[in-house]
Structure 1
Amino acid sequence: MLLLDLDTYAPEERADAFHHAMNDASVPNDVVHESPETGIRARFETWRVGSLDLFDVRSTGFEVRRTARHVRHHRDRPVVSVSLQTAGIHRAENAGERYVLGADDIGVFHELAPRRYGWSGEGSSWAVTIDMEHLGVPVDTVARASVRLRTSPLHDLVLAHLCTLRRDPGRLEKDPGAAALGNATTDLVRALLTSAAHDEDDQRVRSVMDDCLAGRIMAYTRRHLSDPELSPERIAHEHAISKRQLYAVLCRAGIRLEQWVISERLEAACRLLTSPQHAGLPVSAVAARCGFTSPSHFTRRFRATYGVTPREWRRHRTGEASRAVPEDRP
């Protein structure tokens, strides 16, 4: 949903509109624009995925300043914001420390802690906000973790998960699994914050790592779906558990590993088959890219799931029956 587009406002109204949208989407803040005299531009979009609110912010340079005075006027249900820096170099001050956030960093801000955040020139940020009560992590833990997230072995896993959420939030918003996805994301963020804030031999860290094991296994598996050598033995080895433990953990999460992997690979194939950038990619190459070693096996699985062959799917979904796609069989 489009929350704000400053191109629809008169120049003299833009600063107030930006301030209102920023405070409405978050909490009271002071907002300072880098170059208001040359024109402020911004576009805010938002989605709701289960218990999560997702925001995409693109704008000219600004800085949000949240002081102790603002903290005293927080809303009834404050949130923790987890963000990706999708364009530009972002500056932040949190927990008394100043730092820079780049494309491979995660930014975390608690509403009940003073902070500064913003960028110069054109920039953009994508964020997930999680209800503080649902997250269940104290303010001091979030503040401590926010400046040392990369010390956690979970950082890259959570980063990859957030990047996946960002890919098509509109589709996720409507998915029947949105509520479960929201809960799983909250669990991963809780694990990251706990891991980053405490020593790894701390009982809290061990407990939260155990709690999010199924999520970590699923995230690892998604990252390696294109590898035809992916196996239960390898997945178990990468998580320092036995194959039997692997199946038990996933069973408790309601997941049958082999069927789930096939389903994920077929979904990836569907996206490739209808992607304009891959319009000339033969079906056999699509199969290989999605981890299928046999094109005929891929076609059988695809037809059994979707009722049509991969070639028919591509033709029907793109609406271009005459598209010149290299012939390959089956």
Structure 2
Amino acid sequence: MWERQDFVLLLDLDAFAPKDRVDAFHLALNDTSVPNDVVHESPEKGIRARFETWRVGSLDLFDVRSTGFEVRRTARHVRRHRERPVVSVSLQTMGVHRAENAGERYVLGPDDIAIFHELTPRLYGWSGEAASWAVTIDMEDLGVPVDTVTRASVRLRTSPVHDLVLAHLRTLRRDPGGLEKDPGAAALGTATTDLVRALLTSAAHDAEDRRVRAVMNDSLTQRIMAYTRCHLTDPELSPDRIAHAHAISRRRLYAVLGRAGIRLEQWVISERLEAACRLLTSPRHAGLPVSAVAARCGFTSPSHFTRRFRAAYGVTPREWRRHRIQESSRTPPDGPPDTIPPTA
């Protein structure tokens, strides 16, 4: 577990002289995507930007923070695409963003998902200082035709899984450095790809379309797990509620998860305990009582939480917190700390 987010720094314009920043920005951007034309909002006032990246399974994750700019991708640029084109899926983490895609102009806010296929022209950008966080997925892994991505990109909110995918992406963003090192990174990358495929297919086609039925069925396990993670802190979460949310019977719920090797109740407890570990060792929550940690992680009884925690880790929550804090204080300045950041 990590207190800071480990990443590869692709660009920090603060390290460049002002006269070199426009060229450095363009070079970094075009190294991470197909060629684009880039227009900066106020280059005469100076531009700032920072690009960071992580690799989680088959996914590339990017965090971009910069002053205002607009990326213009034309048909000429598209013809020069890389050997393995990608689809980008992004969240607007600061500011209001503008886009033009599939013949429509629209704005994007904090509750929107933006999706662009590398093989289609588009405009994208923002005014003032703003930020975006993105996942790129190999087009071959996604397995969705270009026209489906284009059609879906301007009507994502019509999909029944939009909010679920939005919550899943926000979860990925909390600690990409930790996820990068997690043994389950490959499976997480596959699950994310499956969820995005379901989002695009269901947004592009009618609910009764056989393609929608097929992709919703194929992604059922991933959707159940994503839904459950989103509601872990709710003490009323139950198998019946999870089944009802996915319009299936409790029996089918257990059968679907069983085929994936998941025992629901044990998996929920494990996920809640991992969330408790993060809270217990978070500097931001250092003063939070153990009973409050238990409640925030979906446990209705502090004593039950303590018993479960001891059974899983061999120590009580208080002992875990004390030990981790002591370990962190002994960590050399340049060494890896043992905790992760508070969730966003």
Name the TM-score, length of structure 2 as normaliser: 0.92
What is residue 57 of structure 2 aligned with on the other side? 50
> Structure 1: which 5+ runs fail to align?
322-330
Question: 3-state DSSP class of the match of 2:50?
Answer: strand
CA distance in 2, matches of 1:320, 1:239: 43
1:107 corresponds, among 92, 100, 114, to 114
4+ runs deviating over 6 angstroms: none
1:247-283 CA distances to partner (integer Å, 9 max, x unpaired)?
A: 1111122211011000010011111111222222211
Question: 3-state DSSP class of the match of 1:240?
Answer: coil
What is residue 30 of structure 1 aligned with on the other side? 37
What is residue 181 of structure 2 aligned with on the other side? 174
CA distance in 2, matches of 1:7, 1:122: 14
Report the more deviating stretch, 249-258 or 161-170: 249-258
Q: Confirm or deny that 1:282 pairs with 2:289.
A: yes
CA distance in 1, matches of 2:276, 2:130: 32
> Structure 2: which 5+ runs fail to align?
1-7, 329-344
Q: Confirm or deny that 1:68 pairs with 2:75.
A: yes
Q: Which one scores higher on RCO, CA 8 angstroms, separation ≥ 6?
A: 2
CA distance in 2, matches of 1:11, 1:228: 53
Matched ranges for 1:1-330 at <5 A: 1-319=8-326
Q: Aligned-pair RMSD on alpha carbons?
A: 1.3
CA distance in 2, matches of 1:140, 1:297: 52
Report the more deviating stretch, 273-282 or 179-188: 273-282
Name the TM-score, length of structure 1 as normaliser: 0.96
Shift of 1:39: 0.3
Report the more deviating stretch, 273-282 or 209-218: 273-282
Shift of 1:300: 1.3
Shift of 1:296: 1.5
Q: How many residues align?
A: 322
CA distance in 2, matches of 1:215, 1:8: 42
Shift of 1:320: 9.0
CA distance in 2, matches of 1:270, 1:248: 30
CA distance in 1, matches of 2:256, 2:74: 44
Shift of 1:319: 2.4
Identity of aligned residues (%): 85
